[in-house]
A and B are shown apart, each in its own frame.
Chain A
Amino acid sequence: MDRPIRVLVAKPGLDGHDRGAKVIARALRDAGMEVIYTGLRQTPEQIVNATIQEDVDVVAMSILSGAHNTLLPKVVELLKAEKADDVLVIGGGVIPDDDIPFLKEKGIAEIFTPGTPTSVTIDFIRANIKRK
């Protein structure tokens, strides 16, 4: 518990809506976490590479393109293949409630939809982080 929680904030998919990603990144940083932000248009492979290279505890993905059912599970799969599935994976964005059970089943720990206070996400991370 000595080092601060390290989080990769990532933007999978092709959409350019990064307001949410940047706001959450700043909020996590203000909450004492170390945050790396990937920038736009990251493929699942790029996200997994960054996860491993940056040795993060959490991958927080923001997506508003509608491709969440394709891309988010793929990140979890690749993390498993790389034996990095001790990383907490969460998501946020315009994601219909109907899709959330499917995403959770695929290993995304939680989905935060529009209007979620950043404090809720921060608390969730602190409570659910799998310490290495």
Chain B
Amino acid sequence: MFDKEKLGQIKESAEAFQAKHQKSIEKRPERKQTFETGSGAEVNVLYTPADIPEFDYMEDLGMPGSYPYTRGVQTNMYRGRFWTMRMYAGFATAEESNKRYKYLIEQGSMGLSVAFDLPTQIGYDSDHALAEGEVGKVGVAIDSLADMEILFDGIPLDKVSTSMTINAPASVLLAMYIAVAEKQGVSSDQLRGTIQNDILKEYIARGTYIFPTEPSMRLITNIFEYCSKHVPQWNTISISGYHIREAGSTAAQEVGFTLADGIAYVDAAIKAGLDVDVFAPRLSFFFNAHNDILEEVAKYRAARRLWARIMKERFGAKDPKSMALKFHTQTGGSTLTAQQPENNIVRVAIQTLAAVLGGTQSLHTNSKDEALALPTEDSVRVALRTQQIVAYESGAADTVDPLAGSYYIEAKTNQIEKEAMEYIKKIDEIGGAPKAIDAGYIQQEIMDAAYNYQKDIEAGKRIIVGMNKFQIKEEAPKGLLKVDPSVGELQKNKLAELRAKRDNALVQSKLEALKAACSTDANLMPFILDAVRAYATLGEICGVMREVFGEYQQSVQL
């Protein structure tokens, strides 16, 4: 891209600049000895073409909507339509959450995003001993198809797209969604949405695993296969770096570990006999947005380019859709402070801009009170308005990948790609992501980064406004959302009623059929769907699979 002679001149000039700069800081020292990104990578005083000497526009960037997709996966990005403003919500009962969804749709939310409570995410019914105190707390409690029918009551499933944050029991919740649609007269090929369905990052960082690795990977490939035939518009997995970052990773680790997980899923599906170009177009990703806006933009660009190269070169994908990395973004929960929570609105605005400048396909913005509790309706509205302000007022959505060509952004994109590739190489040497997780390698790397971050904060090396600088004396915040503690009892009663009312012989036979199928090579989706239709509960279905598959044992280390 750069003329050799001119590049030589720039290098000379940049070196002269450096000498001058060194001299000047001897007299007037800078604010810090070294400057670092949010992830702790060193930042230079200035970037010039000398920092990207090999830069090749067509090779490294190309055009938006074309390989290697560095500049984005669509040709005109947000000029066609904005990203999907998708607010993650759900709490208490299906009735309460249904009200919140209808409110969000009225307020301009474009897609639903369902948060399930922890017992649901771990495959326990609300009346299980381990569910005590947890029912309806961090999301909605779903025990059976009956709850799911209430959750989507009055919401036409052929019109909305729904994202469900569900992993270990993703197959069961997807089956429930399909069954609700059937009752609305909507066929499964009209359904649009996403299930998270990413078990590897549960083992790494998020913790809602149930089954051991092998049967978990089988369930995932069963879903890939089933959806490619029956739910073709569904995103069958959302390979998530979000939680890896929340656990304390750096930006480059977020990309490296997430794409390593992606490689494991593609490997597993190919091993199960699926054609890469059949399932790969339905893979999607999920990244975090932290405050270091330039590093984050570079991260999204690096992830797109690296995934495109992996799909083409490593897996021999032919369909361009298999190479285009689509992703959802959520602003960084761990960046929010419990102190002076109003300041979080500003953090979320910066993170929103990062996600938009980085070319996200959909976005959830956190609410200011999330370091304290689940968000109230008012604070969720401000978070949604933040996206709308960036969309309609900032101008950032009107041209594609506007930061491309910045020497810093391009150098940073290269650096993150390189670092992420090194992690992938290391994981390959260990034998792939599942083995690297079993060995605790990935968790250890993240933990080291998290601990360093904490130490930097406590040493005052890293400033968090309102937390370790500019503190004020504060009153305890008022008006936080409280989940009614009677939700647990309510769900238990609903379950008892359901168990009395349904055809229990039918349920039993469907559960036995599922159990038998677990020990064969059959695709489990049709069996799960049958059990769901008969109103078998989530806990019963997962219980049957627990019996056959066993449970994952976490490797505990510090």
Contacts and interface: CB of A to CB of B under 8 A. Distances in A.
B558 A22 contact: yes
A66 B137 contact: yes
B372 A94 contact: yes
A93 B558 CA distance: 18
Contact of A114 (B206, B247, B338): B338
Interface stretch (B126-134, B280-288, B289-297): B126-134
Interface residues on B, range: 35 or more
Interface stretch (A13-21, A51-59, A103-111): A13-21
B119 interface: yes
Interface in A83-112: 94, 96-98
Contacts of B464: 115
Contacts of A96: 372-373, 480, 482
Interface string B370-382: 0111100000000
B202 interface: yes
A19 B335 CA distance: 13
Contacts of A40: 207, 554
Interface stretch (B72-80, B101-109, B316-324, B450-458): B450-458
Interface in B424-463: 447, 450-451, 454, 457-458
A129 B451 CA distance: 25
Contacts of B129: 43
Contacts of A23: 248, 450-451, 454
B133 A39 contact: no
Contact of A16 (B132, B206, B482): B206
Contact of B133 (A69, A98, A113, A114): A69
Interface residues of A, number: 36
A118 B480 contact: no
B207 A13 contact: no
A43 B450 CA distance: 26
Nearest to A27: B454
A73 to B, nearest CB: 10
Contact of B337 (A16, A19, A65, A114): A114
Contact of B134 (A37, A38, A65): A65
Given A19-B247, A19-B334, A114-B338, A14 B372 contact: no
Nearest to A23: B454
A14 B202 contact: no
B367 interface: no
Contacts of B447: 22, 26
A5 interface: no
A29 B337 CA distance: 26
B138 A15 contact: yes
Interface string B107-133: 000000000001101100000011111
B436 to A, nearest CB: 18
A29 B477 CA distance: 33
A90 B476 CA distance: 20
B454 A13 contact: no
Nearest to B369: A96
B133 A70 contact: yes
B558 A67 contact: no
B91 to A, nearest CB: 9
Contacts of B205: 16
B246 interface: yes
Interface string A28-49: 0100000101111101000000
Contacts of A71: 132-133
Nearest to A97: B476
B483 interface: yes
Contact of A98 (B337, B467, B480): B480
Given A22-B558, A65-B118, A114-B338, A13 B480 contact: no
A16 B208 contact: yes
A43 B130 contact: yes
Contact of B450 (A16, A22, A67, A113): A22
A17 B119 CA distance: 15
Given A16-B206, A118-B454, A39 B122 contact: no
A75 interface: no
Given A14-B134, A15-B118, A115-B337, A26 B246 contact: no
Nearest to A63: B133
B280 to A, nearest CB: 28
B133 A97 contact: no
Given A27-B454, A94-B371, A117-B458, A14 B122 contact: yes
Interface of A: 13-19, 22-23, 25-27, 29, 35, 37-41, 43, 65-67, 69-71, 94, 96-98, 113-115, 117-119
Closest 10 CB pairs of A and B: A16-B207, A70-B133, A67-B133, A66-B137, A14-B118, A39-B556, A97-B476, A114-B338, A67-B134, A115-B467
Given A94-B373, A98-B480, 18 more contacts: A14-B122, A16-B207, A18-B247, A22-B450, A22-B558, A26-B558, A27-B454, A37-B556, A41-B130, A66-B133, A66-B483, A67-B133, A69-B485, A71-B132, A113-B338, A115-B338, A118-B458, A119-B458
Interface of B: 118-119, 121-122, 129-134, 137-138, 202, 205-208, 246-248, 334, 337-339, 371-374, 447, 450-451, 454, 457-458, 464, 467-468, 476-477, 480, 482-483, 485, 554, 556, 558
27 contacts: A14-B118, A14-B121, A14-B130, A15-B138, A17-B207, A19-B334, A19-B450, A25-B558, A26-B451, A35-B558, A37-B558, A38-B556, A65-B134, A65-B138, A66-B134, A66-B374, A67-B134, A67-B137, A94-B371, A96-B480, A98-B476, A114-B338, A115-B338, A115-B467, A118-B454, A118-B458, A119-B458
